[in-house]
Structure formats: C-alpha cells, structure tokens
Structure 1
Amino acid sequence: MQLRNPVLFLAESTDLTVNAEEAVEKISTFNKILETKGPEVLSFAIRVLLVLVFFYIGHRLIGWVRKIVRGSMERGNIDTGACQFVDSLLKFGLHILLVLYLANELGIESTSTAAIIASGGMAVSLALQGSLSNLAGGMLILLLKPFVVGDYIMEDSHGNEGTVKEIQIFYTKLSTVDNKTIVIPNGTLANTSLTNFSDKEYLKLDLRVDISYDSDLLKAKALLYDILDKDEDVDKEREHIVFVHDLGESSVVLGVRAFVKTEKYWPTRWRLLETIKLTLDENGIEIPFAQLKVHMDK
C-alpha cells in the first residue's frame, strides 16, 4: 500500500479549510443582507402585488364609468360620434391618472413625477405632434360637424371613401362598399376638403351614354326617358332630363340626369346602367367603342 505524501495531504486539508471558511463567510454575509434588506424587499414585493391588484380593480372601474357615461349620452340622444369621442377620451385620460396614482403608491413621489413630466414635456410634444393634431382634428369634427356617424364621405386628398362607423379620439373609421375598414387620422380629415354624400336627402345622378352617329337620336332619347319614368327609385317630383351632352369624335354623347335618395344612389346607378345597355341593344341603338378608320387612296 502506497502512503500519501504528508505535505500534499496538509496542503489539501488547508485548501478545504479555506474553502469552508469562505463558504461560511458568504452565507453569513447573505444572512446579514437578508436580515437588513429582507423586510424592505418583502415590503416592496407586497406593494408591487397590491399595485397590480389595484390596477386590475381600477381598470374594471374605468370600464364601469365609461359604460355609465355612454348610457347617459345615449339616453340624452347625443350624437353617436360625440359619444365615441368622449368614450375614447375617458379611456385614455382615466388610465393615465390611474398609472400616475399607482406610481405614487410605489414610492415615486408626485413632485418627482411632475419634474419628469415637465422635463420630458418638450420631447413628448415633439414626438406626439401628429397625435395632438389628430386630437384637435377630432374636436373640430365634433364641433363643426362636417359629417356624423352614418354619413357616406370621400376625403379628397387620397380619394378614400366609405360610411363613417366610428369617430375616435385620434382616428375616424370608414367602412367601404366592399366591407373594408379605412382608418383615417382626424387631423387629415380636419385639414383637407371632403365630400359628404349624405348631407342631403337626394343626390343628383349623372350618366353619360354614347350612341353612334348612325343611330336614331330621338328614338334613343325616348328610350332613356322611358327607363327613367319606369324606375321606382328615380324621384318623379324632381326634373329628370335626357340631353345631348357632347358631339364626340366617334359618338354622340347623351346625358342622363335624375335625382335619387342618397341611400339608393349606388344601387340605382348600377341598375340603370345595366337597363340602358340591354334596352339599347334590343332596339338596335349602337353603343360604339373607340376606333380608328383608315381610308386607302388608290
């Protein structure tokens, strides 16, 4: 049996003793930190937990307040757009107040919060220039009422059009005829021209019909008059006329003008165009297409 070197055994024993002493020292240090800082850490953790609970409760209370305000405004027959705008404003404003209150409960002093808000105010205002413009635009829309929820509008800058479904604090939502949703910033709507098709009860329907120069003009006009007289959605109390609008390069352009109710505009337009095409075909009235005739000189 080979005996271990006494010197190596003593060195190993010394290392184990040092490591044990270091471990004991670290444990002792951790215990001291736990004894001194433990209550503070536990207290902070409890505050964080309470803040989360209060945030949940506050969020539910904000929803309850919004529901009461919406109900009151609906019972008072307030404009739908105004109801949506106020609801959106309450949602953002009350949540901001709730967050500031809970920050104060976490130990962030209100004076410090005010100083942070003041120092960052310039940066925030620059970053939110568009949002502030949209907020102001929403307020102008509610005050001046160029349109309300349910109106069919077209904004002229980009040609977006649709039925107004919501007027929120920053954006207005339009629903298109093909069931798409267009979200337009309120600042854009407040600072550009737009067309409100629903502002009047009746809209003027203007159609253009091309017939060939060889076709019977008077017969074509009589057929178009007959179509207008028989259509149930054309307002018979207002004048509807058929006239020669232009003498084109390859056709006589007839104008068809009538008035229809706003909500019936598109269905009536589509139906009349189809009826005009079928009727002219049945009566031998040619609708020419653009063409070029070349005559060869022998």
Structure 2
Amino acid sequence: MFDFSQDDASKYLNDYIIPFAIDLAMAIIIFVIGKIVVKVLVSVLGKLLSKANYDNMLVEFLKSIANAILMLFVIVAALNQLGVDTTSLVAILGAAGLAIGLSLQGSLQNFAAGVMLLVFRPFKAGDYVDAGGVAGTVKSIGVFSTVMNTPDNKEIIVPNGNIYGGNIINFSAKETRRVDMVFGIGYDDDLRKAKALLETMLKEDDRILQDPAPQVAVSELGDSSVNFVVRPWVKSADYWGVMFDFTEAVKLRFDAEGISIPFPQMDVHVHKNEA
C-alpha cells in the first residue's frame, strides 16, 4: 500500500494538478479565441477578394487555404501552452509537406497554373479559345483543370499546366473580328468589275461593319488566277456565318455575272509509240 498523506496530496495538487488545469484552461482559451480571430480574418479576406472581382471559386479556395494555415498556428500555440514540444511537430509537418509536394509535382504545377488563370483571367467561361492544344468553348475553370466543349460537342478536360505553359488564343476577347478571305478570277475576266461586285456585296450584308471599312484589294498575280483579298470586320459572334455565307454568295454572283473562278487543271499528253 502506498502511504499517501494529506500533505502529499496537497503538494501533488499544487505542483501538478492546478498548474496543468491552468495550462489546459489557457490552451482552450487560446484555441477558442484563435478560432474566432481566424474566422474574422478569413471573412475579411473573402470580402476583399470579392470586391476585387476575383472568381468565386478562387475566393473560396484561398479562404480555405488561409483558414487551414491560420488554424495550424492556433493549434501549435495551444499545444505549446500545454507544454508540448511543438518544434518537433513543426519539423515533422514540414518534412511531410515536402514529401507530399515532391510526390504531387504535376498536380501542384496544375494547381499553380489554375490559380494564375483564375487571378489573371485570360479567358472566362463561355469564351472560345485555343489553348493547351485544344480549341473549344470554355465550360468551366477549375483549380487543377479546365473543361472545354469542342465545336462537335466533345467535352475535353485539359490540365491547367498545359494551358498556362503555352500560347492562349482567345477568339471571344474582342467584340469584333476581321474575316480574311481570298477569291481568284481568270486573267481574261474584268478585274474592275469583279472588284466592284465584291465591294457591293460587302455593303449589302448587314452583318458586315462599315467602320472599320472592309478591304478589297488585288493581292497576287498567281499562276492561273488574279487573287483578291477580302477583309471585312464583323462582330465576333457573326464570324463563321459571314465567312460561309459570303463565300457561297461570291460563287453564285460570279457565275451570274460571267466571271470565272479558275481551278487547278492538268493536261495529260499520251504519246503513241508505233512498233
């Protein structure tokens, strides 16, 4: 049997129980107050990012990262109050973070690229872009990948690292685009008449903008044709419609006006070898 006197109990209470209870209470207070402070700081951060018109997905993600980092400091402070050696804990967490980072290099690259895309916003959902080796309409921009729909309605998930590491062509960034077309006529055809017809057709199409003025010019005296460049400006949404419709209209108009459109031909000469 242990001889545990009243004096020993009082000494044990004063030396161990009460100090530990005080440290535990202080640790709980630090944790509770720290959690409240973290919540306030994260809320302020979210409001500042929202006022800066950052993407909502990026705002929520940065808030969660900030919350995790700040709460880690609060937990370390609370454990330190309890007398736990937090130096070793921080070293272990650092080593674990390094190991995870090395094993997820590709994912971290995509993550960093996703953050940059959401911050600098070279394109947004709904834009038609050529990026990461894929051309299509942007459906959504995630932290690790971007989802696109191709013109033939295929859904393609592109890693953000591929997109941010190459050229990004945004066809929807500007309100207007220039349509570049080339039409050839024969050398025997009336050049001035053909040019006047093209200029008239450009004025007749309501989708074609007159400011900046469309351009019609002779660009080349080719091997079998005199080539015109036709460069009208249109709204971005009308680009493909104008290109397809105008090309068809030029063929029909030239046929009606007796203007030829040369095409490649090959002459085959057969030599008969008589025995």
User: Shorter chain as normaliser: what TM range?
Assistant: 0.5 to 0.7
C-alpha distance in structure 2 between counterparts of 1:135 and 1:89, whole Å = 12
Unpaired runs of at least 5, structure 2: 1-45, 69-85
CA 1:85–1:279: 2 relative to 1, 3 Å: farther
Match of residue 18 from structure 1? none
Unpaired runs of at least 5, structure 1: 1-68, 96-110
Percentage identity across paired residues of the two chains: 40
Q: Which one of the candidate residues 123, 133, 138 is aligned to 2:109?
A: 133
Under a length normalisation based on structure 1, what TM-score does the superposition of the two structures give?
Answer: 0.60
Match of residue 143 from structure 2? 169
C-alpha distance in structure 1 between counterparts of 2:61 and 2:248, whole Å = 45
Q: Deviations over 1:89-137 (max 9, x none)?
A: 7799999xxxxxxxxxxxxxxx999888655544432332111111111
C-alpha distance in structure 1 between counterparts of 2:61 and 2:189, whole Å = 61
Alpha-carbon contact 1:211-1:252 (below 8 Å) kept? yes
Alpha-carbon contact 1:211-1:288 (below 8 Å) kept? yes
Deviation at 1:268, TM superposition (A): 1.6
**Which letter does structure 2 place at the counterpart of 1:209?**
F
Match of residue 56 from structure 2? 83
C-alpha distance in structure 2 between counterparts of 1:217 and 1:294, whole Å = 30
Alpha-carbon contact 1:212-1:286 (below 8 Å) kept? yes
Q: Which one of the candidate residues 163, 180, 183 is aligned to 1:189?
A: 163
Q: Deviations over 1:246-265 (max 9, x none)?
A: 11222221100110011211
CA 1:138–1:296: 2 relative to 1, 3 Å: same
Match of residue 51 from structure 1? none
Q: How does 1:84-123 map to 2 (within 5 A)?
A: 84-86=57-59, 120-123=96-99
C-alpha distance in structure 1 between counterparts of 2:57 and 2:200, whole Å = 47
Q: Which one of the candidate residues 99, 108, 127 is aligned to 1:151?
A: 127
Q: Deviations over 1:190-220 (max 9, x none)?
A: 1111211222211111111122222222221
**Which letter does structure 2 place at the counterpart of 1:143?**
V
Secondary structure of 1:148 counterpart: coil
C-alpha distance in structure 1 between counterparts of 2:155 and 2:58, whole Å = 18
CA 1:277–1:114: 2 relative to 1, 3 Å: farther
Match of residue 249 from structure 1? 223
CA 1:291–1:131: 2 relative to 1, 3 Å: same
Deviation at 1:221, TM superposition (A): 1.2
Alpha-carbon contact 1:250-1:291 (below 8 Å) kept? no
Under a length normalisation based on structure 2, what TM-score does the superposition of the two structures give?
Answer: 0.64
Deviation at 1:85, TM superposition (A): 3.9
Q: How does 1:44-59 map to 2 (within 5 A)?
A: none
Secondary structure of 2:118 counterpart: helix
C-alpha distance in structure 1 between counterparts of 2:218 and 2:116, whole Å = 44
C-alpha distance in structure 1 between counterparts of 2:67 and 2:249, whole Å = 57
Q: Are 2:244 and 1:273 aligned?
A: no
Deviation at 1:180, TM superposition (A): 2.2
Alpha-carbon contact 1:204-1:259 (below 8 Å) kept? yes
* Count of matched residue positions in the alignment of Structure 1 and Structure 2: 214
C-alpha distance in structure 2 between counterparts of 1:281 and 1:88, whole Å = 61
Q: Which one of the candidate residues 193, 202, 210 is aligned to 1:228?
A: 202
Deviation at 1:273, TM superposition (A): 1.4
Secondary structure of 1:164 counterpart: strand
**Which letter does structure 1 place at the counterpart of 2:232?**
A
